[in-house]
Amino acid sequence: MATVLPRLQSARTDGLEVKTKAEMSLISKRAAVEENKALTYDVVCGSNGYTQATSIVDQISDLEAFTGESVICNSRSSVYAVSIAVSSSTHWCVDSTGTRVERLTALATTPGTPEYSCE
């Protein structure tokens, strides 16, 4: 019984990570659709006076509720990047170039120097 509980916890953690990455992929696909409609990525995160697309707001809210983690979202007219913690030392990031990658840190959100790329 002692070995079963750690294995169950590991399986749960792995499942949470897979689900999180899948949801981030959906956010990325939705971002492409919203950019195509608005002709700007500003609608992905609600930047430069644009309102964030309701579909993306809903996806991010659902993901944050599911994981208990905060999504970092940075966008401007021609690019966006979104990240979320998948473990205590790893963040999953998607961006407008199609990159989907693990990072050691969340995206920077410092005013004037936010990150718009996962690389």
Residue 69 belongs to a domain: yes
Contact 6, 31 (CB under 8 A): no
Residue 48 belongs to a domain: yes
Residue 117 belongs to a domain: no
Residue 76: band (very low, low, confident or very high) from pLDDT cuts 50, 70, 90: very high
Least confident of 12-16, 90-94, 114-118: 12-16
Q: What is the pTM of this model?
A: 0.88
- pLDDT of residue 34 exceeding 90, the answer is yes
Residue 114 belongs to a domain: no
- pLDDT of residue 84 exceeding 70, the answer is yes
- pLDDT of residue 25 exceeding 90, the answer is yes
Residue 16 belongs to a domain: yes
Residue 110 belongs to a domain: no
Domain of 12? 4-103
The total number of structural domains that make up the chain: 1
Region of 98 (left: φ > 0; alpha: ψ -120 to 50; beta: rest) is left
Contact 31, 56 (CB under 8 A): yes
